[in-house]
Amino acid sequence: MLGPEIQPVAPGAERGPVARGKSLVNRAFHRTADLILRVDRSQTLNRDRSPMAGGGDIAAELYGAVQMMKAEAFDPSGGGVDYRRLCESETYQQYRACTAGLINFDPATLSSNEQRLAFWINLYNALIIDAVIAFDLKGSIREDLGFFRRAAYVIGGQRYSADDIEHGILRGNRRHFHPMIPFPQFAPGDVRLAYSLPKVDLRLHSALVCASRSCPPIAVYAAGRIHQQLDVAAANFVNNGGAVVDVPAGRLNLSPIFRWYRRDFGGTPGVIDFVESHLDDGPGREFLRARGSRLNLVYQTYDWSLNGL
């Protein structure tokens, strides 16, 4: 694996003193954040695991392994995960072996946008589950303040943390929603930028699961059905607590996810449009259409308790 401080320059990347300056500042910030949070960049969950015998299509193997974990330990109704049962299962050991194959996997082999979406969403959700078990978390991911930076795999010789996958890859290298993180996830010239999706699919905010009770329900995504599945995920999230229309009060109660990522949605009007387009037909949807931006938005409290069964 390449060292955390030495990254080759991506082909076609911006060059020159300004680009180098931006890159140095970005890297220095993230390096300092890791030091503060005591994140060791040389550590990844799949570094010392033994790969599956034979090897093959890693993306397909990953999909199959996560499907098996879903059947073993996911609650299809409430979205919870039976971490204790999964930890002791042969299914989880097979998944761990599958992650060892990621070390030599080239993400460039994912040729379509659908393949990339399915692969990275599935990998993010599985990485979070893997990290909860590996770090022995009991009540909340907030037991580990550096959780999303510490949870990581080596993929194709590069380290990818959960934050790298969400913000660097799936969100097109947009900056983190936290105001204390002013820089993009990847610095200019980082080779991982080659796999960053050019456009944010807003539905992914209904598909990424951070192991907390207020997260959307967990699912497994297939490239051939990714758009239908993401439509279902968005509708499920919006109609099952993510957005609650209080018609008498003229109020829209929203998950904080819509506040954290409102820039992805294009601000408050974009959030309202997204909710209205995925809300079931009924008085609430008609009310949103009639009132538009003349709404009182109230953001719910996020429950960070572990989504365990």
CA-atom Rg of the chain in angstroms: 20
Residues in the chain: 309
Residue 258 has pLDDT above 60, yes or no: yes
Q: Per residue in 266-295, pLDDT tens?
A: 999 999 999 999 999 999 999 998 887 678
Residue 171, class by beta-carbon neighbours within 10 Å (0-12 exposed, 13-18 middle, 19+ buried)? buried
**Given a cut of 70, is residue 229 above it in pLDDT?**
yes
Q: Which of 46-50, 100-104, 130-134, 187-191 has the lowest mean pLDDT?
A: 46-50
Biggest CA pair distance of the chain: 62
Tokens 């020159």: give the residue.
Answer: 16
Q: How confident is the model at residue 54 (pLDDT cuts 50, 70, 90)?
A: low
Q: pLDDT (tens digit, 9 = 90+) per residue, 144-195?
A: 999 999 999 999 999 999 999 999 999 999 989 988 888 899 999 999 999 9
Question: Is 9 or 261 the better-scoring residue by pLDDT?
Answer: 261
* % of the chain residues with pLDDT over 70: 92
Give a three-class secondary structure readout of 108-141: HHCCCHHHHHHHHHHHHHHHHHHHHHHCCCCCEH
Q: Mean pLDDT across the stretch 56-60? A: 85
Q: Give this prediction's pTM.
A: 0.91
pLDDT of residue 8: 41
Q: What is the pLDDT of residue 281?
A: 93
Percent of the chain with pLDDT over 90: 73
- pLDDT for the residue 181: 87
pLDDT given for residue 199 in this prediction: 92
Local structure of 222: helix, strand or coil: coil
